[in-house]
Amino acid sequence: MSETRSSFTPNPEYLVQVSHLKQYFPVSTGFLRTTMLKAVDDVSFDIRKGETLGLVGESGCGKTTVGRTMLHLYEPTAGEIWFDGKKIEGKETLQEFRRRAQMVFQDPYSSLNPRMTVADIVAEPIDVHNLCATKKEREERIRELMSIVGLNTEHATRYAHEFSGGQRQRIGIARALASNPEFIVCDEPVSALDVSIQAQVINMLEDLQSQLGLTYLFIAHDISVVKHISNRIAVMYLGHMMEMAPSNELTHHPLHPYTISLMSAVPVPDPKLSRNQKRIVLEGDVPSPLKMPSGCPFRTRCSRATPECAEACPAMREVAPGHFVACNHI
């Protein structure tokens, strides 16, 4: 990860590079008045080829907005997105990027068109990017994709409402794989599923990654799930990146006060350890993104906060090899 990117240079080691990404939404606050809601504010990170970067944080912190903005489902307010050494800008680079980068959505119910058969849903990227020359080739590809994600190919003529939540999410994954992507944004892909189904889907995503050489941005609020699948984990709070480190390093040695409080809330399966575990409860409420505090966004709930924290938002800096923290007191 780069700390400052005023003169950004792409690094061939990384497949995806995000530099100073901002996503602001205008919100009406009265008669002819609008205020900018800073959903994502100056976020930078890199993802290596074949790696999974986990992105965690509480609801409303901007995780999903980061994923959608990266894929240009939202037009970025500011910042740069680089993919495989090329800056994503203009119609040509965006069209190629959208073939090579796909998304698995959170809700397996609303993300599938109820008027389309499973075959047509899965084949939509194939049709959009003209990836099959004949109808027979298209049908073979649909059957192959359904088989890859563990679906019965005989169900291709059925509609989405005839399937369970886990099966629907497999349909969404098959659709994401249809264009032979290299990068997939997984936006809380298991949060709407039963725990037993969650494990099946996570294991399938890992298998697909090893088989197809995929790179993931895995967005979730469950740190235990993210720890299992991710090589590195990034923590967000109110649109800002708080900490980023290798998975084991962050879960065993968190440094930022917000990350420490998040880790203290993770359930421990051992009753003896659980009784001795101290839960860190944050004081106060999450500030409104429309009225962000000055300086560090976490300072209003931080036990370490000093007057210095109100002056400027701390930059992400490397405090150990590969371990980045945005805090004035570390």
Contact 132, 126 (CB under 8 A): yes
Closest to 54 in 3D by CA, of 234, 265, 246, 191: 234
Question: Residue 42: is its pLDDT beyond 80?
Answer: yes
State the pLDDT at residue 72.
94
Q: Which residues lie below 8 Å from residue 35, measured CB to CB, with a gap of 6+?
A: 26, 27, 29, 290
Q: Which residues lie below 8 Å from residue 18, measured CB to CB, with a gap of 6+?
A: 43, 44, 45, 46, 66, 70, 79, 80, 81, 82
Contact 229, 218 (CB under 8 A): yes
Q: What is the pLDDT of residues 154-172, one digit of tens each?
A: 999 999 999 999 999 999 9
Question: Residue 267: is its pLDDT beyond 80?
Answer: no
Phi-psi region of 294 (alpha: psi -120 to 50; beta: other; left: phi over 0): beta
Q: 5 is written with which tokens?
A: 């990117």
pTM given for the model? 0.91
State the pLDDT at residue 316.
93
Is domain 14-325 in CATH 3.40.50.300, yes or no? yes
Mean pLDDT taken over the chain: 90
State the pLDDT at residue 273.
63
The amino acid occupying position 161 is H
Q: SS3 for 279? A: coil
Residue ranges of the domains in the chain?
Answer: 14-325
- Could you give the angle at the alpha carbon of 60 between the alpha carbons of 55 and 63, nearest 5°? 25
Q: What is the pLDDT of residues 64-85, one digit of tens each?
A: 999 999 999 999 999 999 999 9
State the pLDDT at residue 289.
83
Question: Residue 266: is its pLDDT beyond 90?
Answer: no
